[in-house]
């Protein structure tokens, strides 16, 4: 039996508005819809047809949204239970082949990355046997019973529990109010996961997103290779991912800066979890921009700027670029010659070229020479669907700052 009811509704596209769907791009914008047959509600599975009636595929419907349909399949057959099980099995196989969650030194990774795995609206992160699911669309949330069975089959004994953390994301995307909670199994309130041998306390209940930011794993590892004997400032530190890697690699001193006292407390807990010297670590509760205005930046050999997304949509792009320029300008003005800046943007609306140009503009205004040493992106468990380049959201630079 299928848990997602196939609606009788059909979404027909305007003439010449089906090219992107034929190229398997998963988004149908409301402006491309010619008419709708039936009365689909938020989250209903709808058939998508070309202007002349040819079936293009099936997707989840979202009324009153700029993205009217998020495509699931691109053929005449509607997704059934076997389709869902196959999609989950493929996603898990990709991570298993990368050895990302079944070794002593690595048991945390993203198992499903929305469009990157052909499942728009679904995020699933695995933390040492606990799977935290975040549904961004009502249609995906309705499918949780089927997804639960599919994940249990694909993961087997290494799965201990499944936690649904979709309440806030559903409300933002037209879904009904719901409570977060366990949908299968459970776990102690305190739970640790291992990333490349580094221990992290994971709080899926109160933490941001699913409890941790797995997308910076490879970039944290790179920071570690450059941190021995250095003094590091981790701005927007959250629970200290970059800080732990730097300390464990032999950094002389690491300062973690965040506006959240609770995040800093978890950061300090992570320092203790990894058996690191608390004398080498300092938490700083402050506004990032205000702190960057101070004269202290010249003390650091490496500065990490990993701010939250400044632009959730294209309409906020200009303001986001100005925000990135502002914080990077402050950093570049204060950093000493020969120091390194790790700087990031996780705003999907700001692409690589825009971000690089923003850093260049900040360097010109600061009067500093900068050399780009590394271009950074999201790791392979956050794959980019070749037909959906918008999925490449994380971009970063490592630059050397000189006079």
Residues forming the active site: 346
Would you state the torsion angle of the CA atoms of residues 331, 332, 333, 335, taken in this order, to the nearest 10 degrees? 80
Contact 268, 283 (CB under 8 A): yes
- In contact, 245 and 324? CB cutoff 8 Å: no
- Torsion sign across C-alpha atoms 314, 319, 324, 325: positive
Under 8 Å between Cβ of 369 and 328: no
Q: At which residue do the structure tokens 């290779």 appear?
A: 225
Compute the distance between CA of residue 263 and CA of residue 402 in angstroms, rounded to an integer.
Answer: 33
- Provide DSSP, 130-197: EEEEEE-SHHHHHTHHHHHHHHHHHHGGG--EEEE--HHHHHHTTPPP---EEEEE---SS-EEEETT
């Amino acid at each position: 039996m299928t848990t997602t009811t196939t609606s009788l509704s059909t979404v027909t596209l305007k003439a010449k508005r089906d090219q992107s769907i034929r190229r398997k791009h998963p988004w149908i914008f409301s402006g491309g819809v010619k008419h709708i047959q039936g009365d689909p509600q938020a989250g209903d599975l709808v058939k998508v047809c070309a202007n002349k009636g040819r079936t293009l595929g099936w997707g989840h419907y979202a009324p009153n949204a700029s993205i009217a349909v998020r495509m699931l399949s691109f053929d005449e057959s509607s997704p059934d239970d076997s389709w869902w099980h196959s999609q989950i099995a493929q996603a898990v196989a990709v991570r298993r082949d990368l050895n990302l969650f079944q070794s002593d030194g690595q048991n945390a990774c993203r198992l499903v990355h929305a469009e990157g795995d052909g499942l728009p609206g679904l995020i699933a992160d695995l933390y040492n046997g606990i799977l935290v699911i975040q549904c961004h669309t009502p249609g995906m949330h309705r499918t949780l019973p089927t997804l639960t069975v599919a994940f249990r089959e694909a993961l087997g004994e290494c799965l201990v529990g499944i936690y649904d953390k979709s309440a806030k994301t559903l409300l933002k995307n037209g879904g009904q109010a719901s409570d977060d909670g366990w949908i299968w199994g459970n776990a102690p309130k305190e739970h640790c996961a291992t990333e490349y041998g580094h221990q992290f306390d994971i709080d899926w209940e109160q933490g941001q997103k699913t409890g941790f930011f797995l997308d910076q794993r490879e970039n944290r590892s790179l920071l570690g290779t450059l941190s021995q004997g250095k003094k590091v400032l981790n701005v927007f530190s959250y629970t200290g991912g970059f800080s732990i890697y730097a300390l464990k690699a032999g950094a002389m001193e690491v300062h973690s800066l965040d506006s959240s006292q609770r995040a800093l407390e978890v950061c300090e807990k992570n320092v203790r979890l990894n058996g690191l010297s608390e004398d080498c670590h300092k938490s700083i509760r402050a506004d990032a921009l205000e702190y960057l205005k101070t004269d202290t930046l010249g003390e650091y050999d490496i500065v990490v700027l990993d701010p939250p997304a400044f632009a959730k949509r294209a309409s906020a792009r200009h303001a986001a670029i100005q925000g990135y320029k502002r914080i990077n300008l402050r950093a570049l003005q204060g950093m000493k010659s020969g120091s390194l800046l790790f700087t990031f943007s996780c705003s999907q609306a700001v692409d690589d070229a825009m971000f690089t140009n923003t850093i260049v503009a900040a360097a010109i205004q600061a009067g500093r020479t900068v050399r780009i040493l590394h271009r950074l992106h999201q790791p392979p468990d956050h794959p980019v669907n070749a037909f959906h380049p918008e999925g490449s959201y994380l971009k970063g630079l490592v630059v050397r700052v000189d006079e």
